Structure 1
Amino acid sequence: MKDFTNARGYPIGEMSRRTGVNIETIRYYERIGIMPEPDRTAGGNRQYDHDQLKRLSFVRRSRELGFSLEEIRALLEMVDRDDFTCGEVHALTTGHLASVRQRIATLRKLEKALAGMAAECSKGDVPDCPIVDMLFDAP
């Protein structure tokens, strides 16, 4: 396997490969300021350094955990300040956790409603369907 690291850094394709983040997504993160603009080669190609690779990995992992881009921006601003406290990060994380728990509760209600609708269905060959009727009758 070819190692693309060199004195100039990582090209965007290598950043994508190493982090699993789509190239267009990397460019988007640059446009919205989540990722800093990288250096450019004489030919105009992006060249990222190791710190940018770590930052992109941080963003990817945060997205996997369901953090919004604004939450990630807040986390990164704390990190960039270099004087953040664990308490600040904890507060943001527990806020996110509360949001996740609320979504889970909403999904459980949705699951119960859909299971109830499906249980009413006879799965017959006639055009009358209690699921469709329930959807039309809902306020």
Structure 2
Amino acid sequence: MKALSIGAVSRETGVKVPTIRFYEEIGLLPAPPRTESNRRTYGPADVRRLRFIRHARDLGFEVDAVRQLLALAAHPETPCASADELARAHLREIDEKIDRLVALREEVQAMIDGCEQETVRTCRVIEVLADHGGCLPGAR
């Protein structure tokens, strides 16, 4: 594989050019070599790394967790307990978000169900939004 431009790497990985530059800026992606005309050039290792980063980000891993996972991936002979713990912690965060979304859904559903759809004066949606005390217990 010959050296790729930033645009070619973007198309190859699905990572937008400004995001590639951002990843370089924060150290997730090493600064690439440059041509005589100062254009960035990337190789197969950069493509693999960007795909890794993109997949981790698509799965919702925060930048710091991605940084830690990249560091672990650089040492393939080490035990994977740290990677496993990062993934488990992320799964707990996902479960907490799901719980909050379920509670949010129940609250909005209750608001809709309580609305008689007559006038705004008697609208349950408007009433609940105006007074947080009208929310379901625990939905705050």
TM score, norm. by length of structure 1: 0.89
Amino acid at match of 2:79: T
Shift, 1:136, TM fit: 1.3
Matches within 5 A, 1:1-139: 5-6=1-2, 9-124=3-118, 126-128=119-121, 129-139=123-133
How many residues get paired?
132
1:80-136 deviations in Å (ceiling 9; x for gaps): 345532111111111111111111111100111111001112233x23221111111
Give the share of equivalent positions with the same residue, in percent: 33
**Aligned-residue RMSD, C-alpha:** 1.3
For 1:85 and 1:34, the matched residues in 2 are separated by 22
For 1:109 and 1:34, the matched residues in 2 are separated by 36
| Conserved 8 A contact 2:120-2:126 | no
TM score, norm. by length of structure 2: 0.88
- The farther-off stretch of 56-65 and 82-91 is 82-91
Displacement over 4 Å in runs of 4+: none
Unmatched 5+ stretches in structure 1: none
